Amino acid sequence: MFRLRPPMTARGLILKSACRQQSTSASEAPKRKASFGKIVGRAAGAGMLVVAGLQLYHLNNPTEEERLFNPATVFARLPGDKTPLEERMASETQYMGLSVIPYRGISRLWGFVNDIELPMWAREPVYKAWTYAFDCQLHEMKYPLKEYRNLGEFFSRPLKEGARVVDRDPRVMSSPVDGRMATIGVVDGSQGIPVLEQIKVFVDPRPGLTVSQGARYRMDEFLGSIPDFFSEKTPGKRLYHCVIYLAPGDYHRIHSPIDWSVEERRHFPGNLFPVNSLAVNFVPSLFTANERIALLGQWKHGFYSLTAVGATNVGSIGISLEPELVTNLGSQDRLGGTCLAKVYEAQHLVSRGDQVAEFKLGSTVVLVFEAPEDFEFSVQPGEKIRYGQPIGRFTKEATPEGPSTFPSTAELIKHAPPSRSYFGEVSHLLGKVFGSALQETTEKALTSDKIADSRESLGPAYTKE
């Protein structure tokens, strides 16, 4: 049975229409409020972006007064007045702004990505894309592309046999890496504090006179101490330095440029600023701020050091003498400004061409060494060089140099660790010459396996109060 609804009266129609209007107005009211809130939020967001943009512009364009009265504190530790380039480098405010960026964490994240194993089908496309972007020399690889499980292995790929010819002339210094020569020169100690050049800018105020007005950094802060060269100067010798920059597409392994004895490793946890041309022209004393590992020792002509400097996404530096050493760990984030040193119980004789370290991407290698005054660099800043190629040589007429540049036995014994006796050092050298078996047998009887304690304060920048 169906029940018919009674017809709507005029009063009912009016009430129903009023209810609809009230309902419509009630539903529209929240919409008007939401729209107003969105407008306010967008206006606030736009205002914050404008303020951030103005702050960023001001940060990157400080006034001359700010540069004069708010210079980066590192300049107070450099001798003499600032050079013209240093005058234009980051102020203290800019330096603090850069330091806020978590470069170490970003580099660890990149390292995590590098270690992800790629499926077999993806390896060739990924590596070839990287090759296209950074001009890698794939024909020099030791193994086929599919053999590299991840980006980390591809970045640190070894060379196939014969890909490089190492110049072994004892009167020549070979390049330790593939890269681009950034700076070369003689260490300047004329103002009491030896300084190295981060970037070199030459000007010619008048014909015949060339002056360098680039950016500097202190050698004692970079290496942790000043070599004996400055306290026990030998007539006819100088302290030289050179900086070699490795691009992402370069071969990333580091080899010994000469025959020498490695006595000590120094690890400096620090920041990981970029080390490209923009950064070295802007960040003061960049190489003393970044994480690095320095190998120090002796060659035939005196002091020798090779330092691998980290950079953004290059926090992992591997050392062949210590495969267990790991850099850019989270536990090391608070160790900036310290030096973790290890004096090797036994000096390591490293031959020219031996691998001593490797980067996981690309960064910078710095050589600081003592040599006679007739040594001259055979390459120029900006020149592209390859591992094994000569980068310098002695220019005087050839004299009997012997087959290598290893220091003499007397020098090795002179620089031996205090814990090693004279006879122990001689037996160690004999072991190097005649084989590891003699070395192990003799040293077990004469020396302990105890390694020298790490030292956390070296040089003025690392001294504890």
Q: Which of 174, 316, 320, 363 is catalytic?
A: 363
How many other C-beta atoms can be found within 10 angstroms of the C-beta atom of residue 119? 7
CB neighbourhood size of 158 (10 A):
16
Burial class (CB in 10 A: 0-12, 13-18, 19+), 136: buried
Task: Sort strands 195-199 and 215-218 into parallel, antiparallel or unpaired.
Answer: antiparallel
Please give the Cα distance from 338 to 332 (Å, whole number): 10
Q: Is the dihedral of CA 139, 140, 143, 148 positive or negative?
A: negative
Q: Say which of 255, 267, 301, 428 is annotated catalytic.
A: 255
Q: What is the DSSP letter of 444?
A: H
Judge residue 411's burial from the number of C-beta atoms within 10 Å of its C-beta, 0-12 exposed, 13-18 middle, 19 or more buried: middle
Three-state SS annotation for 19-70? HHHHHHHHHHHHHHHHHHHHHHHHHHHHHHHHHHHHHHHHHHCCCHHHHHHC
Distance (Å, whole) CA 356 – CA 295: 9
- CA 388/CA 14 separation, integer angstroms: 99
Angstrom distance (rounded) from CA 257 to CA 173: 6
* C-alpha span between 119 and 131 (Å, rounded): 18
For residue 178, indicate whether it is catalytic: yes
CA–CA separation, 109 vs 10, rounded Å?
74
Instruction: Tell me the sheet residues that pair with 199.
Output: 215
Cβ(419)–Cβ(408) below 8 Å:
no
Rounded CA-CA distance 303/261 in Å is: 10
Q: Which of 91, 178, 250, 256 is catalytic?
A: 178
Q: Give me the active site residues, please.
A: 178, 255, 363
